[in-house]
């Protein structure tokens, strides 16, 4: 009868440890990938927020320029109306007609600037909404990055300590971090203390 060699318990323990270490290492790599997506999302949200803020500021400056022009036409129109009323008896019919035509053109320009201001204001407010939306995403990515970094550190410690409890602790942090990362992209839950 052939002899059967029983495995050495020490070798089995080493194989078990090696399997634990390689499994934790692979899962830690997944944590790192999620961390990369979180970092990318945070950077993108910050860029979008800054760009929208800059564009909104540009629109408000444009709005202000249109307001100034509108007020200039209003003041010129008012001054010309006052002059016309003071000189109404001394001006001829031709000159009065020219002044009235100028008054009408000032009124048209004033109305045009008022309408253009409405469009500019609408665009500026839309850009502010985009800015606010991007701003609301950023904290989710920041907290996700922190939690995922802690999870990676704890997973590394679990390999060194050969501890399933420490690895489980890192998995909890990673799950919360992954949730916050996904929420940063999808905005399916608003967490009040992050806003």
pLDDT tens for each residue of 68-103: 999 998 998 888 888 878 777 777 778 888 888 888
- Domains in the chain: boundaries: 24-185
> Three-class SS of residue 2?
coil
How confident is the model over 4-23, as pLDDT tens digits?
A: 565 566 655 666 667 888 89
Rounded-to-integer distance, Cα 80 and Cα 92, Å = 16
What is the per-residue pLDDT for 129? 95
State which H helix or E strand residue 52 sits in.
helix 9-87
What the block records as the tokens of 33 is 């990938």
Whole-model pTM: value is 0.74
How confident is the model over 160-176, as pLDDT tens digits?
A: 998 999 999 999 999 99
Rounded-to-integer distance, Cα 133 and Cα 21, Å = 41
């Amino acid at each position: 009868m052939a002899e059967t060699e029983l495995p050495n318990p020490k070798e089995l323990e080493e194989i078990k440890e090696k399997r634990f270490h390689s499994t934790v290492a692979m899962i830690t790599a997944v944590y790192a990938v999620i961390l990369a997506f979180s970092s990318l999302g945070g950077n993108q949200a910050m860029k979008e927020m800054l760009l929208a803020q800059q564009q909104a500021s540009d629109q408000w400056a444009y709005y202000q320029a249109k307001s100034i022009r509108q007020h200039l036409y209003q003041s010129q129109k008012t001054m010309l109306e006052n002059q016309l009323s003071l000189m109404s008896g001394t001006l001829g019919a031709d000159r009065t007609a020219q002044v009235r035509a100028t008054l009408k053109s000032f009124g048209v320009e004033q109305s045009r600037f008022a309408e253009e201001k409405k469009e500019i204001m609408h665009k500026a407010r839309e850009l502010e909404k985009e800015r606010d939306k991007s701003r609301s995403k950023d904290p989710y990515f920041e907290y996700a990055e922190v939690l995922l970094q802690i999870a990676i550190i704890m997973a590394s410690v679990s390999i060194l300590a050969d501890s399933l409890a420490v690895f489980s602790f890192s998995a909890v942090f990673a799950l919360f971090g992954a949730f916050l990362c996904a929420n940063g992209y999808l905005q399916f839950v608003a967490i009040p203390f992050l806003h």
